[in-house]
Amino acid sequence: MKNTKLVVSTKKVEEYSGDLLVTLVALDEQGGYVGDDYFRPLLESLVQYKEFSGKKDEQIQLYPPFGPFFGKLKCRRLLLVGLGCLNAITDLNVKKELLRTAGGAIAAQCKSNKVTNVGICMPNYSGLPDITIGEFLSEGILLGDYRFLKYKTKKKDEDGYAGLTKIELLATTHVKAIRSGATKASNSAKAVITARDMANEPGNGLTPSHFSQYAIGLAESLPLRCTILEKKDMIDLGLGGIIAVNQGSDEPPKVVILEYSPKQKGETILLVGKGLTFDSGGVSLKPAQGMMDMKYDMCGGAAVLAAMEAVGREKPAVRVVAIVPATDNMAGGGALKPGDIITHYGGITSEIESTDAEGRLILADALAYGIEKFHPDCVIDLATLTGSAIFALGHHYCALLSNNDKLAEKLIAVGTACAEPLWRLPLGEMYVKQIKSQVADIKNTGGKPAGCITAAEYLHQFVGSTPWAHLDIAGTAWDFSEKTYIPKGPSGFGVRILIEFLRRWETCNFPTVD
Ligand code: BES
Ligand code: MN
Ligand code: ZN
């Protein structure tokens, strides 16, 4: 992974000698300029010649000499970025998103000029808390600057560019607050980048063993404890769903467990992620077209492990346990067959109607095992679980299903704040009926209608009364809404939700469900 430095420096604007200096320009309600006084004379002349007005999404790049006002500037280029009328926006979440988007646009401009060092003047006006500007602009730049070059022998884009190496936030006031915002942005962005990198790995590049290696590595460098359940452990424990899905594969399955425990004993949050490193469908084989995308079927697992990286750095005051059941779904000679009956951890039996509905099989075991072993106060799972989630919500909202209104509400609020929007779908006994089996307790498909809900109801059978939320990220894990800071390909969706949810955690006040 590329390691872009994000630093806050107290350099004066004139002292910055990097490739590109950026200044932000907002407008007040009268259309007047709100920004750094230093640039006011320049702005006024640009406005006079109608070159630039400060509207949202507007940019202008200038080269030296910068005219009579700025003989002293040492940067190679100067970029003015318009933010529009910030004061007219009352919703802080909308402002945050505007900044992320502006950050993504700055990263794009850096790419087109092959800029490696960028300096951003932190404006000294009060339209937004300074901490917010630095944090969300940096998040947008770091996420927008993402590229996956591991398998390119030249380690560069087609145009020879390898991305930013240093971002400097130039601040003269509120330096401490801006630093802490920058640290948060860097922790979130690094975790998202980890998740995107994992997702970009093909099925032969990231196997269940690579998942476990990654977690072991994290536990060596951060205050996390890693346990790997091997196939024999799974057989001993009775994790029948994972064993069943893995039957047709030559790659050994792994259950990856990472635990973070604060000094003070307290509540526990359990995160579970689907780590299906390639989903061929198994014997219920998927059509060839689009099958390649099923290398992304591990995005839930990647999100959960990546969030643990941030947890290890930020050390929240709550215990966090992550479990990723990891296997691929192949159609080898020993593979699971339609009609087979399996027994999950805890004893529930399930009739396999389609071997392609494999995500719920591995998640059911992980949820049941995790809840019994760690007694969490709440559980959140992330999974690219159903095509049905895409039919329902497209690529713009992620489906949320939960047995607990308060937990669902909190997650929706966090999703909105992160611009990773969630839309809640219902659960209900009438959907459970669709997964009743003639010969076993349940079956693993519920027919065409409401496929996203019946999949969630399958999982629901394994969580008991623990407050639980399920995020079906099938539509958002890749091809997520086009934005300046969301690249084509995997988005890292859900990582920022998890991190923000944990940052906001104070105490569990979710009533348990009966
Ligand atoms: N991984 C897929 C779901 C998926 C499909 C995610 C397309 C993203 C894009 C999952 O394992 C699956 O195959 N689900 C089936 C379930 C069905 C057989 C009940 C589906 O959604 O078609
Ligand atoms: Mn499948
Ligand atoms: Zn799958």
pLDDT tens digit sequence for 428-463: 999 999 999 999 999 999 999 999 999 999 999 999
Instruction: Indicate whether 328 and 447 sit together in one domain.
Output: yes
Going by pLDDT thresholds of 50, 70 and 90, the confidence category of residue 419 is very high
Instruction: Indicate whether 148 and 236 sit together in one domain.
Output: no
Structure confidence at residue 70 (pLDDT): 65
Instruction: Indicate whether 154 and 272 sit together in one domain.
Output: no
Residue 212 domain-assigned? Answer: no
Instruction: Indicate whether 234 and 89 sit together in one domain.
Output: no
**Lookup: tokens for 463:** 């969580």
Q: Alpha-carbon torsion 74, 78, 81, 86, what sign?
A: positive
Instruction: Indicate whether 401 and 272 sit together in one domain.
Output: yes
Instruction: Indicate whether 404 and 303 sit together in one domain.
Output: yes
Instruction: Indicate whether 22 and 74 sit together in one domain.
Output: yes
Mention every residue, 6+ apart, whose C-beta is less than 8 A from residue 468: 367, 378, 379, 380, 381, 402, 403, 404, 407, 459, 460
For the stretch 255-267, pLDDT in tens is 999 999 999 999 9
The Cα–Cα gap between 469 and 425 comes to 11
Q: Domain range for residue 33?
A: 5-193
Query: What CATH number did the domain enclosing 353 receive?
Result: 3.40.630.10
Residue 266 domain-assigned? Answer: yes
Structure confidence at residue 128 (pLDDT): 63
Q: Is 225 among the residues known to form the active site? A: no
Q: How many CB atoms lie within 10 A of CB 427?
A: 18
**Lookup: tokens for 47:** 């406005």
Note the pTM of the prediction, 2 decimals: 0.97
Q: Give how many domains the chain has, as a whole number.
A: 2
Q: Please pick, among 286, 313, 373, 483, the residue that the annotation labels catalytic.
A: 286
Going by pLDDT thresholds of 50, 70 and 90, the confidence category of residue 130 is low
Minimum-distance ligand to the CA of 445?
A: 1
Structure confidence at residue 461 (pLDDT): 98
The residue with tokens 């805890």 is 346
Structure confidence at residue 132 (pLDDT): 84
Of 125 and 440, the structure prediction assigns the larger pLDDT to 440
Instruction: Indicate whether 19 and 160 sit together in one domain.
Output: yes
Residue 115 domain-assigned? Answer: yes
Of 86 and 449, the structure prediction assigns the larger pLDDT to 449
Query: What CATH number did the domain enclosing 37 receive?
Result: 3.40.220.10
Instruction: Indicate whether 27 and 123 sit together in one domain.
Output: yes
Q: Which residues of 238-270 are buried (b: 16+ CB within 10 A; e: fewer)?
A: bbbbbbbbbbbbebbbbbbbbbbeeeeeebbbb
Query: Would you say 276 and 359 are in contact if contact means Cβ atoms under 8 Å apart?
Result: yes
Taking the CA of residue 384 as reference, the ligand 1 atom at the shortest distance is 6
Structure confidence at residue 468 (pLDDT): 98
Which protein residues are within 6 Å of ligand 1, measured from CB?
A: 279, 297, 354, 356-359, 384-388, 445, 451, 474
Instruction: Indicate whether 179 and 241 sit together in one domain.
Output: no
Residue 92 domain-assigned? Answer: yes
Query: Which residues place a Cβ less than 5 A from the ion ligand 2?
Result: 279, 356, 358
Domain boundary residue, one of 193, 212, 243: 193
Residue 198 domain-assigned? Answer: no
The residue with tokens 């919500």 is 393
Structure confidence at residue 49 (pLDDT): 86
Q: What is the CA(356)–ligand 3 centre distance, in A?
A: 7
For the stretch 322-347, pLDDT in tens is 999 999 999 999 999 999 999 999 99
Residue 514 domain-assigned? Answer: no
Instruction: Indicate whether 153 and 80 sit together in one domain.
Output: yes
Structure confidence at residue 47 (pLDDT): 85
Backbone angles phi, psi at 26, to 5 degrees: -110, 170
Whether pLDDT at 145 is above 80: yes
Q: Which of 53-62, 217-226, 251-260, 469-478 has the lowest mean pLDDT?
A: 53-62
Average pLDDT value for residue range 81-96: 91
| Among the listed residues 385, 431, 200, 226, the one whose alpha carbon sits nearest the alpha carbon of residue 311 | 226
Q: What is the CA(191)–ligand 1 centre distance, in A?
A: 26
Going by pLDDT thresholds of 50, 70 and 90, the confidence category of residue 199 is very high
Q: Is 156 among the residues known to form the active site? A: no
Query: Would you say 19 and 116 are in contact if contact means Cβ atoms under 8 Å apart?
Result: yes
Taking the CA of residue 297 as reference, the ligand 1 atom at the shortest distance is 1
Whether pLDDT at 514 is above 70: no
Residue 414 domain-assigned? Answer: yes
Taking the CA of residue 329 as reference, the ligand 1 atom at the shortest distance is 11
Instruction: Indicate whether 18 and 115 sit together in one domain.
Output: yes
For the stretch 39-76, pLDDT in tens is 888 888 888 888 999 999 999 999 988 777 666 889 99
| DSSP reduced 3-state for 12 | coil
* Alpha helix ranges (H) inside 15-129: 40-48, 92-112
Q: What is the CA(402)–ligand 2 centre distance, in A?
A: 22
Residue 512 domain-assigned? Answer: no
Domain boundary residue, one of 193, 216, 236: 193
Domain boundary residue, one of 193, 215, 238: 193
Proportion of the chain in helix, strand, coil states, percent, rounded to 5: 40, 20, 40
